């Protein structure tokens, strides 16, 4: 399983755009980059997934450069309810488990 490195914590004011960068130098050809979000006392929740370039959904955008050794999760105009831990994962197609690491604890400040 490819390991990932991401900041332990980040703070942001409400209404700002937040970018969380993750490095995954050993990503394999068949691996996808996946982000999960976890609120206190809840299980993780899938946010977004991509293979290369840019992916956007109603929650976030994911930017992946050509070499795929890093990725950036972008959360537009965060609100207090976005305070959570965000996990960057590299997942092989057909993998039967997820490796979460310690994630990035995002705190949104009023």
Partner 1 sequence: GAGVSQSPRYKVAKRGQDVALRCDPISGHVSLFWYQQALGQGPEFLTYFQNEAQLDKSGLPSDRFFAERPEGSVSTLKIQRTQQEDSAVYLCASSLAERGGSRGNEQFFGPGTRLTVL
Closest separation in Å from C-beta 96 to partner 1: 4
Measured CA to CA, the distance from residue 79 to residue 38 in angstroms comes to: 15
Is residue 29 at the binding interface for partner 1, with CB under 8 A as the rule? no
Q: Which of 20, 24, 103, 106 binds partner 1 (CB under 8 A)?
A: 103
Q: Which stretch binds partner 1 (CB under 8 A): 14-22, 59-67, 72-80, 99-107?
A: 99-107
- Whether the CB-CB separation of 67 and 77 falls below 8 Å is answered with no
Q: Which of 58, 66, 81, 97 binds partner 1 (CB under 8 A)?
A: 97
Strands, sheet with 61-64, edge to edge from the N-terminal-most edge strand: 18-23, 70-75, 61-64, 53-56
Question: Nearest CA to 73 among 83, 61, 84, 64?
Answer: 61
Residues near partner 1 (CB under 8 A): 32, 34, 41-46, 49, 85, 87, 91, 93-103
């Amino acid at each position: 399983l490819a390991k990932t490195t991401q900041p332990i914590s980040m703070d942001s004011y409400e209404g700002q755009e937040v970018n969380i960068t993750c490095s995954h130098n050993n990503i394999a050809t068949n691996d996808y980059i996946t982000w999960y979000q976890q609120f206190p006392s809840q299980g993780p929740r899938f946010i977004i997934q991509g293979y290369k370039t840019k992916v956007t959904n109603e929650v976030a955008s994911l930017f992946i450069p050509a070499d795929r050794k890093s990725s950036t999760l972008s959360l537009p105009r965060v609100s207090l309810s976005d305070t959570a831990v965000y996990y960057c994962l590299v997942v092989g197609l057909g993998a039967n488990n997820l490796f979460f690491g310690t994630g990035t604890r995002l705190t949104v400040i009023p």
